[in-house]
């Protein structure tokens, strides 16, 4: 039996690219271990954690729909997970089972890699959405000192998040977007719009500040309609694939005690897989 077993758990989970990511790193660094894909429906969550120690899990990733419901099963959650109200990474520390959230680190690591130094001048961000991805983006951007405007179809959800994050994070209705874009240094799509199988964003980028960066957390397709429109208008763009890669670095380091690198080869491996499995991506 493999001695170091890690996992990604969710429901559904078939689409997850985390096994490919962590499998690549295990091979690249010649480490003994596994990273397994677990389909755990909500009604099986209790049983999964009851058997956690026996099964020999060293930790893993948590995704939809379990990011909040795993919390009562853990001994502690760290500050990032507390602030985001969700856990995406589980690991053992001194005999205690801990939960953290590396999505904000992934969000920032991606833009730091693709647009180095971006935060030296960026002051104001606009985030579209008010779900899980918005929490990670807003938390990350707030930690870098940006003012963050949340714009969502359902404004009450944006307001709830703004209240949660406090100073520097405000909530707005979509009707306010054009005005917000004029002073925006970074526009982020944190909704599922633009993903394969979903409608595209119907957003007019004409008012967007000339040198603004446009970041889409969606990575299937790699270049969403929003990013294409932004690129054609001359904006620097950031796709969502690197967010997955960079959030994974933190978990891998905690489980396998080796800090892995996000390389061009790894990025290409995932791009090829996305293209092979999703016509039109």
Is there binding between residue 133 and ligand ATR (CB under 6 A)?
A: yes
Is there binding between residue 126 and ligand ATR (CB under 6 A)?
A: no
What's the burial of 21, exposed, middle or buried (CB within 10 Å: 0-12/13-18/19+)?
buried
Is there binding between residue 87 and ligand ATR (CB under 6 A)?
A: no
Shortest Å distance, C-beta 136 to ligand ATR: 9
Long-range interactions of 98-101: CB distance < 8 A, separation 24+? 98/74, 99/62, 99/70, 99/71, 99/74, 100/250, 101/136
Shortest Å distance, C-beta 241 to ligand ATR: 15
**Which segment (32-40, 124-132, 226-234, 264-272) binds ligand ATR by CB under 6 A?**
124-132
State how far the Cα of 192 lies from the Cα of 206, in Å rounded to an integer: 22
Residue 277 is a catalytic residue: no
Tell me whether residue 26 or residue 184 sits nearer to ligand ATR (CB atom).
Answer: 184
Is there binding between residue 157 and ligand ATR (CB under 6 A)?
A: yes
State how far the Cα of 165 lies from the Cα of 141, in Å rounded to an integer: 11
DSSP state of 278: S
Spell out, one character per residue from 136 to 155, where the chain touches ligand ATR: x when CB under 6 A holds, - when not.
----------------xxx-
Is there binding between residue 169 and ligand ATR (CB under 6 A)?
A: no
Q: Which is catalytic among the residues 4, 67, 157, 229?
A: 67
Strand pairing report for 96-100 and 89-93: antiparallel
* 273: CB partners within 8 A, 6+ apart: 17, 20
The residues assigned a catalytic role are: 67
Binding site for ligand ATR (CB under 6 A): 129-134, 152-154, 157, 190-193, 199
């Amino acid at each position: 039996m493999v001695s170091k077993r890690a996992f990604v758990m969710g429901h559904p989970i078939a689409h997850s690219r985390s096994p490919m990511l962590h499998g690549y790193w295990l091979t690249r660094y010649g480490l003994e271990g596994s990273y397994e894909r677990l389909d755990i429906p909500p009604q099986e969550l209790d049983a999964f954690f009851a058997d956690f120690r026996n099964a020999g899990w060293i930790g893993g990733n948590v995704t939809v729909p379990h990011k909040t419901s795993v919390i009562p099963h853990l001994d502690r959650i760290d500050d990032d997970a507390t602030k985001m109200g969700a856990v995406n990474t589980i690991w053992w520390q001194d005999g205690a089972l801990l939960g953290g959230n590396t999505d904000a680190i992934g969000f920032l690591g991606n833009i730091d890699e693709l647009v180095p130094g971006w935060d030296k001048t960026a002051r104001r961000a606009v985030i579209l959405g008010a779900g899980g991805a918005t929490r990670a983006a807003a938390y990350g951007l707030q930690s870098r000192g940006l003012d963050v405007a949340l714009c969502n179809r359902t404004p009450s959800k944006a307001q709830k998040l703004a209240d949660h994050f406090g100073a520097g994070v405000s909530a707005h209705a979509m009707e306010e977007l054009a005005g917000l874009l004029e002073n925006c240094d970074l526009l982020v799509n944190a909704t599922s719009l633009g993903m394969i199988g979903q409608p595209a964003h119907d957003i007019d980028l004409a008012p967007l500040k000339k040198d603004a960066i446009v970041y889409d957390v969606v990575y299937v397709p790699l270049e969403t309609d929003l990013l294409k429109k932004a690129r054609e208008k001359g904006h620097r763009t950031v796709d969502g694939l690197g967010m997955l890669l960079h959030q994974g670095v933190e978990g891998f380091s905690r489980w396998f005690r080796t800090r892995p690198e996000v390389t061009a080869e790894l990025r290409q491996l995932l791009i090829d897989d996305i293209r092979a499995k999703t016509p039109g991506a």
